Chains A and B, each alone.
Chain A
Amino acid sequence: MKIKLNGKEIEADGGKSLLDTCRENGINVPTLCYHASLFPEARCRVCLVEMDGKLVTSCSTKPREGASIITNNEHVLKARRLNMELMVPQPSCKKEDDLEVCGIYEEVGMRTARFASIKEYKPDLGAAVIRDNNKCINCGRCVRVCADIQGVYAIDFASRAHNEHVTPYSEKHLADVACIRCGQCILNCPVGAISERSHIEEVVAALDDNEKHVVAQVAPSIRAALGELFGMPAGTLVTGKTVAALRRCGFDKVFDVDLGADITIMEEASELLRRVEKNGVLPMITTCCPGWILMMEFFYHGLIENMSTCKSPHEMLGMLIKTYYAKKAGIDPKKIVVVSIMPCTAKKFESTRPEMESGVDYVLTTRELARLVKMRKVDFATLPDEEFDPALGISTGAGVIFGATGGVMEAALRTAHFLATGKELEKLEVAEIRGMKGIKEGKITLNGKEIRFACAHGGANARKLMERKDDYHFIEVMACPGGCIGGGGQPIYRDPDTLRKRTEALYSADRSSKLRRSHQNPVVKQIYKEMLGAPLSEKAEELLHTHYVKRDRF
């Protein structure tokens, strides 16, 4: 159909929203409650445009034949501005926060506030994710992401009119409800009302304590995302700079969680083969993702036997740091402080699980690490590339791809094939479980036995996959869309292509690795030789495996 857009006649698709039509024609319309992968709710009323003289929300309105759309006259701008004024009475934009809402202040030309704030809420200081409703503007993106993308439904709106606010049921704290701590709400909050519970203070105190031997271990997905917080384009690999920055911040040793991932693979692949051979409970489901573990513990009590008993990679490495490394380096384990640098808020919860003896003392998210680096006045961009400390710093490409959805599965298949057949897998890259499709599946033959596998990312996809779990032998679940590269602790991104770029960076790191199979890692071999014996040995079970509990939803 033909419409007039700001006076110019254009051909428009009547099935698309005005917002999409405007953006396709290079006209920017500010949005707040709109989220590309969610059904539009039209609650913030910031994306207003004029259609035939009447104000309409462009996200929820489709064009009429011959309609005249105006996006930038004073009528429109004034209405957008007033809605912003009402929503955010006291604009406070610090440059370092880089909040999405600040960009919209500028777009609508808002400077001062005319209305006093009316919000008086107590902040919700949860164990991993904290919320401050006084900053909240009720855009509802957190609510919809939690429900529609994560399938968790931990938060919703309560009360009416100006008292409407986001809350877990019954005004409880997030820490006391069925919240999986994935932190997707943080990534989608335009005003920074939700954030991780920071461990920076504790880490700084440990760094400044000369008695302590502070060790950092860096998760695979950090290297593909940290650069974004220092002005680099998405998908820039900053492995070497990350290591250098951590040393400048005062960490005594910097280890690579990829090594933990390699050990996880040794254990997990062996566990899979044991279950297949001895008719154990199948499908076996991966447990690298603490968000998914919580989801299972809250919503899928029947799956507890299906979960692999392997700890997640950083927990495995944490234990090895406090045992293997402590013994080798001759340091009292009590003096070692292990700090995990993670893309994840749920890891903060994981390291406090009473069911699991944890070697990890503190967890910093990618965002917190960037803050720490800035606090310590380290100029990240000009740092040289440095190597991980070799004691526990040699890793394989198989460990790197843990950060992307399907990566754990792919790495496990590479090793399982070798362990089962004694021969290396010829086709190293498993194309069918790469990419951003919600649920991916494939099959492989091991010793004449067909192994069917599937992986899901995003809680809602996981829920779908669990409905037909019995079709498979091996399932990988990552709670966050895209896997860890899209984790709740990662830099907040606005370009939907970001996840793909971060993933590509990890795969390129795998391609350029000399070693691409976990079982070929010389440090892994050494650890098994010197301490653990073999995968699933008694010692390995003691240090590297755990169990799960059934949690009440209410």
Chain B
Amino acid sequence: MQILRQTKLEALEKARSLGSDGVLALLEKRGLEGRGGAAFSTAKKWRGSRDAPADERFIVCNADEGEPGTFKDKFIIRHNAETMIEGILIAAYTVGAKRCFIYLRGEYDYLRPRLEGQIADVLARAKMEGVTIEIVRGAGAYICGEATALLQSIQGFRGTSMYKPPNPTTCGLWGKPTVINNVETLTCAAQAVLFEDWNNSLRLFSLSGNIKNAGVYEFPLGVRMSTVIDVARPARKLKAMSFGCFGGIMPVDENMQITPEAVCRENCHHGAYSVIFIDEGNNVVDVSYSIAKFYTYESCGKCTPCREGTIRMLNLLKKIRSGKGVKKDLQTLRELAVHIQETALCGLGQTCGNHVLTSMEHFPKDYEYYLKKNEAGESKEKK
């Protein structure tokens, strides 16, 4: 796996010899994009921070991997943390930052003692004047994986998202320019700087769900679905797949080539390529219900549509599943999902209706199954 290649501080050395501009030009040439889901050019982000006027800058490594079905960052931290730390140092060098943070997911706290040792070790060998790396432990909120909420959390406030602009890149921690990159992005940054043969199209896939071989795999973009399924080894015929929770639920097409464009055609979003497989034995409405429960628990509560809308969507799904739903409930459900998407403040809210909209689009029969239950019940009562 490319992601496991170790750079052994040679990448940092090369970065120093290239200079800040050289690193940015190289990353641009390699085409590195953020691996957290938004796929924003890493070179552009770093340049934005570097060139924003300020007396202090910060680097934040986002290791608050909270998306259900995603566990690739944990994999990297366990197996190649040194390269990730080197990536942080390269970012600090390029941007001109001294204080760096790793925002570690609360549930990953068991990785911390080892990570602390590795940080001390790399810092000692890297000899970067005045650069520190602090681990900040998340307290378990999904929302803190969102950049602005994460920054609030590091600063000691409640983890709630803020509107943009201003972007964290120019106005982040304590109002200073702050680069926030995902674990995979920073690891790739180190590798992209060092290795001439570095392949930009490889992505880490977290596979889980109704399959035998759940785990982290590396595939190139454009990989055929059948290849992925062969590796995953489902027990029964697959019916649907969901990219994390937020990406939406889409049917499994063995011939599909997995690219961002192909996923978008199904009105879904690839995110960090964490695929949850769902087989025939499931009704997609049940899946949607679980996802709705997740959002109802994890919304930060700041903006109205997300705070009040997620619980209403959950209640409607509950009603439909209990066999008491009517056609109008589907209408309201769709209306709410679209509304939250359109008017919520942050990425969480704007995507938390995806699972409802896509499951309605791709699996209308599963909804009809529950609605028919109600009609059957009603006609029985009439008799």
In the complex, which residues 12-45 of chain A have their Cβ closer than 8 Å to any Cβ of chain B? 41-45
Instruction: Contacts A79-B339, A86-B305 given; indicate if A161 touches B297 (C-beta within 8 A).
Output: yes
In the complex, which residues 287-335 of chain B have their Cβ closer than 8 Å to any Cβ of chain A? 295-312, 332, 335
B89 to chain A, nearest CB (A): 35
Contacts of B299 in A (CB 8 A): 160-162
* B361 sits at the interface (CB 8 A): no
**Chain A minimum-CB-distance residue to B310:** A161
A31-68: CB near B (< 8 Å → 1, else 0) gives 00000000001111110100000110100101000000
Contacts of B300 in A (CB 8 A): 160-161, 164
Contacts of B345 in A (CB 8 A): 42-43, 45, 57
Do A57 and B304 touch (CB < 8 A)?
no
Instruction: Contacts A42-B163, A57-B163, A161-B310 given; indicate if A83 touches B305 (C-beta within 8 A).
Output: yes
Within 8 Å by CB of B343, from A55, A157, A163, lies A55
Contacts of B158 in A (CB 8 A): 156-157
* B90 sits at the interface (CB 8 A): no
Compute how far the CA of A55 lies from the CA of B309 in the bound complex, rounded to whole angstroms: 17
Do A115 and B296 touch (CB < 8 A)?
no
Do B301 and A83 touch (CB < 8 A)?
no
* B141 sits at the interface (CB 8 A): yes
* B342 sits at the interface (CB 8 A): yes
Instruction: Contacts A45-B343, A79-B343, A86-B312 given; indicate if A161 touches B307 (C-beta within 8 A).
Output: yes
Compute how far the CA of A517 lies from the CA of B304 in the bound complex, rounded to whole angstroms: 54
Within 8 Å by CB of A138, from B307, B310, B311, B312, lies B307
**Chain B minimum-CB-distance residue to A158:** B158
Compute how far the CA of A289 lies from the CA of B311 in the bound complex, rounded to whole angstroms: 44
Do A83 and B163 touch (CB < 8 A)?
no
In the complex, which residues 374-426 of chain A have their Cβ closer than 8 Å to any Cβ of chain B? none
Contacts of B143 in A (CB 8 A): 160
Do A162 and B311 touch (CB < 8 A)?
yes
Within 8 Å by CB of A115, from B165, B303, B312, lies B312
**Chain B minimum-CB-distance residue to A139:** B304
A513 to chain B, nearest CB (A): 50
Compute how far the CA of A44 lies from the CA of B304 in the bound complex, rounded to whole angstroms: 5
**Chain B minimum-CB-distance residue to A80:** B343
B290 to chain A, nearest CB (A): 16
B130-144: CB near A (< 8 Å → 1, else 0) gives 000000000001010
Within 8 Å by CB of B335, from A54, A82, A160, lies A82
Compute how far the CA of A271 lies from the CA of B132 in the bound complex, rounded to whole angstroms: 56
* A73 sits at the interface (CB 8 A): no
Most buried by A among B305, B335, B336, B344: B305
Q: On chain A, which size bracket covers the interface?
A: 20 to 34
Interface size on B, residues (CB 8 A): 32
Contacts of B303 in A (CB 8 A): 42-45
B325-369: CB near A (< 8 Å → 1, else 0) gives 000000010011001001111000000000000000000000000
Do A83 and B302 touch (CB < 8 A)?
no
Instruction: Contacts A57-B163, A86-B309, A138-B307 given; indicate if A162 touches B342 (C-beta within 8 A).
Output: no
A400 to chain B, nearest CB (A): 44
Contacts of B165 in A (CB 8 A): 62
Do A162 and B343 touch (CB < 8 A)?
no
Within 8 Å by CB of B308, from A48, A57, A162, lies A162
Contacts of A160 in B (CB 8 A): 141, 143, 297-301
Contacts of B342 in A (CB 8 A): 54-55, 79
**Chain B minimum-CB-distance residue to A57:** B163
Contacts of A137 in B (CB 8 A): 304
Contacts of A329 in B (CB 8 A): none
A160-199: CB near B (< 8 Å → 1, else 0) gives 1111100000000000000000000000000000000000
Contacts of A118 in B (CB 8 A): 311
Compute how far the CA of A60 lies from the CA of B298 in the bound complex, rounded to whole angstroms: 24
Compute how far the CA of A159 lies from the CA of B301 in the bound complex, rounded to whole angstroms: 8
Compute how far the CA of A159 lies from the CA of B311 in the bound complex, rounded to whole angstroms: 14
* A114 sits at the interface (CB 8 A): yes
Instruction: Contacts A86-B309, A161-B298 given; indicate if A114 touches B332 (C-beta within 8 A).
Output: yes
* A127 sits at the interface (CB 8 A): no
A145 to chain B, nearest CB (A): 17
Contacts of A44 in B (CB 8 A): 303-304
Compute how far the CA of A161 lies from the CA of B307 in the bound complex, rounded to whole angstroms: 5
Contacts of A159 in B (CB 8 A): 301
* A87 sits at the interface (CB 8 A): yes
Do B343 and A87 touch (CB < 8 A)?
no
Compute how far the CA of A46 lies from the CA of B304 in the bound complex, rounded to whole angstroms: 9
Contacts A/B (CB < 8 Å), 25 sampled: A42-B303, A43-B302, A55-B343, A57-B163, A60-B163, A62-B165, A79-B342, A79-B343, A82-B335, A82-B339, A83-B305, A86-B308, A86-B312, A87-B304, A87-B308, A115-B308, A118-B311, A160-B300, A161-B300, A161-B301, A161-B310, A161-B311, A162-B301, A162-B307, A162-B308
List 8 other contacts, CB 8 Å, given A44-B304, A162-B307: A42-B303, A48-B343, A79-B343, A82-B335, A82-B336, A138-B307, A160-B299, A160-B300
